[in-house]
């Protein structure tokens, strides 16, 4: 009897939350992982894919991307599924006034699992609007999050330019009143610096994104990581990559990682410009972290299990038996490759000998991306047209 729908055979499974990093078969029945074992009988599966030389890991979780509200936003399926991302977090595109539109037009229309942060600004991530303190209603923001806890997981405070902590204070209040966390993207300015932000205004579980941005230097003049970053990490603040088109500089990332300051989570900050200029999809960001010395196992952990904990979705982020069948099937290419960064002084590159590329994406047991037709029959099996009906 065919008890499995899809069987992935001979791949290397890397599932950090279950401490698995070995050659195993994995079978899917309906929307769940039904078996992980040394050898699973092919005759019991409706479909079998040979995953030799491929890495099988939990569907990637992008903790910072833009699918709504921002003029450079991209529809989730196009920016996620080709790259192995099965779950994304929209980083504050909607505000409490616009979220219902996002829910209907984006979240409910996507194959990708989409969660969102609510911008502290009621109108959402419209650039000038993010300076409008009178539109930062923390009570209405918290109320909206409490109403839609199935989709909304926290608050975003971003791009506020005034010499004031008001946006952060209101964002924090909304997070507290909704029992969630706050993600912050705020450039330091004189009188409103990063040390005070991390020390006084952010608490355990809050996320600082764009950790290696040139405009938010993690390094002092001597290229050493500021001590207060380590102290903030000790206190429970989470540091997210948030690559984007202006927020990831190798000149910050390399010394910081060499000094032991790795990102907690790997995310793209995907939007039109970052996709075109930096190709900053999830496997690209993961390749960059590998090129800077983080192991493949840890890179996958920071792109699956850790973000699933932050989203508080324990059914995601791992591929143990009984878990949701969200899977990315990856290939490691060896050769010579250029990886592109960014910053306020332009784009530069780092050359590496290894990159990760996504091959197959499975979301809730369905193949939603198959780059080279692993799951398809050869074209010679195409049936003949029915000539008697047309001649």
Q: Is 269 in the site for Zn ion (CB under 5 A)?
A: yes
Which region among 119-127, 257-265, 267-275, 311-319 touches Zn ion (by CB under 5 A)?
A: 267-275
What is the secondary structure of 243-294 as a DSSP string?
-TTTS--HHHHHHHHHTT---SB----B-HHIIIII---HHHHHHHHHHTT-
Distance CA 314, CA 192 (A): 36
User: What minimum distance in Å lies between the beta carbon of 244 and Zn ion?
Assistant: 6
Q: Is 125 in the site for Zn ion (CB under 5 A)?
A: no
User: What minimum distance in Å lies between the beta carbon of 280 and Zn ion?
Assistant: 11
Which region among 106-114, 159-167, 262-270, 314-322 touches Zn ion (by CB under 5 A)?
A: 262-270
Q: How many residues does the chain have?
A: 391
Expressed in percent and rounded to 5, the helix, strand and coil fractions of the chain are 30, 30, 40
Q: Give the helix/strand (H/E) hosting 119.
A: strand 113-119
Quick one: 49 or 65, whose CB is closer to Zn ion?
Answer: 65
Quick one: 240 or 269, whose CB is closer to Zn ion?
Answer: 269
Q: Is 89 in the site for Zn ion (CB under 5 A)?
A: no
* Total residues at interface with Zn ion (CB under 5 A): 2
Quick one: 206 or 269, whose CB is closer to Zn ion?
Answer: 269
Vertex 195 angle, CA 228 and 155, to 5° = 105
Choice from 26, 27, 91, 184 touching Zn ion (CB under 5 A)? 91
Q: Report the 10 Å Cβ neighbour count for 173.
A: 18
Distance CA 363, CA 204 (A): 31
Distance CA 287, CA 280 (A): 10
Quick one: 57 or 91, whose CB is closer to Zn ion?
Answer: 91
Which region among 22-30, 32-40, 86-94, 287-295 touches Zn ion (by CB under 5 A)?
A: 86-94
User: What minimum distance in Å lies between the beta carbon of 33 and Zn ion?
Assistant: 32
Q: Give the footprint of Zn ion on this chain (CB under 5 A).
A: 91, 269
């Amino acid at each position: 009897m065919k008890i499995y729908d899809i069987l992935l055979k001979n791949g290397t499974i890397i599932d950090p939350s279950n401490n698995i990093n070995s050659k195993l078969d994995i079978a899917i029945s309906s929307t769940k992982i039904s078996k992980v074992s040394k050898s699973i009988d092919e005759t019991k599966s409706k479909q079998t894919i040979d995953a030799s030389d491929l890495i099988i890991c939990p569907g990637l979780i992008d903790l910072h991307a833009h699918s709504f509200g921002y003029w450079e936003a991209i529809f989730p399926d196009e920016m996620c599924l080709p790259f192995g991302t099965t779950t994304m977090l929209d980083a504050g595109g909607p505000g409490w006034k616009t979220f219902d539109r996002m829910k209907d037009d984006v979240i409910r229309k996507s194959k990708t699992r989409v969660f969102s942060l609510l911008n502290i600004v009621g109108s959402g991530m419209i650039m000038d609007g993010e300076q409008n303190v009178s539109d930062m209603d923390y009570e209405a923001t918290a109320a909206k999050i409490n109403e839609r806890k199935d989709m909304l997981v926290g608050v975003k405070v971003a791009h506020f330019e005034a010499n004031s902590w008001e946006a952060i204070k209101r964002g924090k209040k909304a997070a507290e009143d909704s029992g969630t966390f706050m993600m912050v993207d705020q450039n330091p300015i004189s009188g409103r610096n990063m040390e005070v932000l991390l020390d006084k205004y952010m608490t355990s579980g809050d996320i600082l994104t764009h950790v290696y941005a040139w405009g938010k230097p993690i390094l002092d003049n001597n290229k050493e990581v500021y001590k207060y970053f380590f102290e903030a990490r000790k206190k429970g603040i989470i540091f997210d990559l948030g690559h984007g088109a202006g927020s990831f500089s190798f000149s910050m990332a390399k010394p910081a990682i060499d000094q032991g300051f790795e990102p907690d989570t790997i995310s793209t900050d995907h939007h039109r410009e970052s996709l075109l200029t930096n190709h900053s999809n999830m496997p690209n960001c993961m390749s960059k972290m590998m090129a800077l010395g983080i192991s493949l196992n840890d890179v996958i952990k920071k792109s699956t299990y850790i973000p699933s904990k932050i989203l508080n979705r324990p059914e995601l982020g791992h591929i143990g038996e009984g878990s949701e069948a969200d899977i990315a099937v990856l290939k490691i290419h060896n050769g010579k490759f250029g990886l592109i960064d960014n910053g306020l002084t332009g784009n530069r590159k780092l050359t590496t000998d290894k990159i990760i590329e996504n091959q197959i994406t499975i979301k809730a047991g369905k193949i939603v991306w198959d780059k080279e037709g692993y799951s398809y029959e050869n074209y010679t099996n195409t049936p003949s047209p029915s000539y008697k009906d047309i001649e």
